Amino acid sequence: MPRIPDEMLHGVAFLYQTKEQAAQHERVGGTGFLVSRFAPRASEAFGYRANIPFLISNRHVVWNSGCSVARFNRRDGGGKILNFGPENWVVHPDGDDVAAVCVFPMLDRVKDEITAGNFENLITEEIVSKSDLGVGDDVYMMGRFINHQGRKTIRPAVRFGNISMMPEMIGNRAINQDQLSYAVEMRSRTGFSGSPVVVYRQEGTSLKELPEGHDTGWGILGINWGYILDEDGENTWLNGVVPAWKIVEVLKTPEMEESFNAADEAAAGISKGDAVEPSVAVEDAPPPTKADKR
C-alpha cells in the first residue's frame, strides 16, 4: 500500500449522540465521511467548479444509536460541531444501512480542515464491471479507533485489507435485516461503523484498466457497517461493507435532491452577497492546550 495523502483523512467526521459529548470528545459513537456533488448553478455563478458537501454514515449509527452530531477539525486545532438530530438525516428508502445529510453551508474550507471525495469517486456497479473489480483488490478504511481517537482533535485511524467476497445479501444485526454487502478482510472494532472503505490499485497490480475518471487509481468502495457474525453470534472477523452505489441511491432520493438543489441555489446566491443561514446549530470547540497535547 502506498503512502496515503494526509488530506484524505480530513474527509472523516466523528459522530456523537449529543453536542456535549462532541465538545468533550468523549469515547462514544461512530464515523462519517464527506462526499461532494458538482453544483452547476454555483459553478456558473462563481466561474469555477463548486461542490455541495454531504455527510455519509450508517443508518444504524445515526438512527438506531442516535449518533447524529458531527465533529470536524478546524485548522486552528479546535473543533467544528454540527448539532444534527437523527431526524435531519435521510436514510435509504429500502432500509439499507446508509444515511446522509447536507452540510452546506456549515463548513468553511478556509477555517475548517476538511476535504471531500467527489460523487464521481463512488464505485458503481458499472465501474465494478468495467474495471474487473474483485476478490483480492486492496482496500483501506479511515475511521474512529475509540481507544486512541486523539485528545482534543479527532484523529482518524486507517485499517488495511482486501476484498474477500463480492456483494451478496449478508445478515446485518445492527439493522436486523439482510444487507447487500462486500465481505472484506479488514480488522475493525467499535467506532469504525460508518467509515469510508476505499479501494486502491497501483500501476501493474490490475489485469484491466482503472475505472474511468479515477486517475489516482482509487474510489470509494462503500461504507463499513461492522463485523459479520455467524448464526451463533460468533465473530467471523470479516467486515460487511455496504456498496457505494447505495450511497448514490440515497443522494438521488427526492429529499436529498431537494436539499441539493436548494443548496446549489443558495451557494450561487453567495456570489451576489446573499447570506445563507445553517439549518442546524453550529458550534466551535476550543483548540487544545499545552496540557492536552502532552
Domains of the chain from N-terminus onward: 6-293 (2.40.10.10)
Q: What is the pLDDT of residue 185?
A: 95
pLDDT tens digit string along 181-191? 999 998 878 88
| Alpha-helical regions (H) of 58-148 | 59, 125-130
- Which residues of the chain fall short of a pLDDT of 70? 1, 203-217, 290-294
What distance separates the 2 farthest-apart alpha carbons in the chain?
Answer: 61
Rounded CA-CA distance 211/169 in Å is: 25
Q: What is the pLDDT of residue 5?
A: 84
Q: What is the pLDDT of residue 6?
A: 87
CA atoms within 13 A on the CB side of 8: 19
Rounded CA-CA distance 158/45 in Å is: 38
Rounded CA-CA distance 105/52 in Å is: 9
Q: Which three cell numbers stand for residue 283?
A: 458550534
Q: What is the pLDDT of residue 207?
A: 39
Radius of gyration of the chain (CA): 18
pLDDT tens digit string along 86-118? 999 999 999 999 999 999 999 998 999 999 988
Cβ-in-10-Å burial (0-12, 13-18, 19+) of 185 comes to: middle
